[in-house]
Amino acid sequence: MTFTQHPIDIPALAVVDLYLEVHKGIRAELFDVTLEAGRVDGDDLIGVGRLVEHVASVGGLLESHAEHEDVHVDPVLAEIDPDLSSSITHDHHVLEARWSFVDELAQQVERTDVADRRPALQHLYLELSAFTSAYLTHQLVEERVVMPAIEAAIGVEGVLAVNGAIVGSIPPEQMMRYLALMLPAMSSDDRAGLLGGMREGAPPEVFEAVWGLTRTVLDPWALAGTARRLGITS
């Protein structure tokens, strides 16, 4: 049996992607919390408690990311493509309601008697899987449709200005929490681009703090690759 190979039609990506780092971090967290829900035992009270906390933490990340989009990205999209903007806004509302249900299930798991906790955990695991699937589809639209449309309309410099506004609106403590999630999910090239920009544009003490965080969240191989690209020898 022979198979005919067809060329894959891959859409052009934006030169500057507002979603790149944060979406990688969100994907990693969604995968991780879903796997955690599938692994935890009902009689593991500590494990169940950690899972419920993890669900709440992911919910906070999703909420904060959506707020940044609502304030900084959606107004730009509404100007250039009102229909696409309306579709994205609708998706945000649907996903927000769906995550509220996930959070509710997580809290129910913690309140359920140990004897009945196994099916409750399975329901949570399946809903996390379903939510992750829906969220990944939404992310893909933002990365392959929304981002190129915005860049085509306002140019690379315009996108960089939006990115600067987003970064500037995030308090330092929150930014460090975001980086702790994003950096391990990124490639060394991505990290070098992000950290190199910080080194050039931020005060030295800020970069030193971020590099210190980087050293704690990356495994030795990933850290070495990132340091090499940044020209850091220690």
- pLDDT tens, position by position, 15-74: 999 999 999 999 999 999 999 999 999 999 999 999 999 999 999 999 999 999 999 999
**Domain final position from 169, 201, 222:** 169
Question: In this model, does residue 7 exceed pLDDT 80?
Answer: no
Question: In this model, does residue 4 exceed pLDDT 90?
Answer: no
Q: How far apart are CA 127 and CA 167, in angstroms?
A: 32
Whichever domain contains 106, its CATH number is 1.20.120.520
- Same-domain check for residues 192 and 161: no
- Same-domain check for residues 204 and 137: no
- Same-domain check for residues 144 and 50: yes
Q: What is the pLDDT of residue 62?
A: 97
Mean pLDDT calculated for residue range 192-199: 91
pTM confidence score: 0.91
Q: How far apart are CA 182 and CA 223, in angstroms?
A: 14
Parent domain of 99: 20-169
Question: In this model, does residue 11 exceed pLDDT 80?
Answer: no
- Same-domain check for residues 54 and 126: yes
Q: How confident is the model at residue 93 (pLDDT cuts 50, 70, 90)?
A: very high
Instruction: Give the rounded distance of the alpha carbon of 63 from its chain centre.
Output: 11
Establish if 57 belongs to a structural domain. yes
Q: Cα 103–105–109 angle (5° rounding)?
A: 115
* Domain tally, the chain: 2
Average confidence score pLDDT of the chain: 93
Mean pLDDT calculated for residue range 87-105: 96
**Domain final position from 143, 169, 195:** 169
Q: What is the pLDDT of residue 231?
A: 92
Question: In this model, does residue 144 exceed pLDDT 60?
Answer: yes
- Same-domain check for residues 196 and 160: no
- Same-domain check for residues 48 and 114: yes
Instruction: Give the rounded distance of the alpha carbon of 122 from its chain centre.
Output: 24
- Same-domain check for residues 117 and 157: yes
- Same-domain check for residues 147 and 192: no
- Same-domain check for residues 76 and 191: no
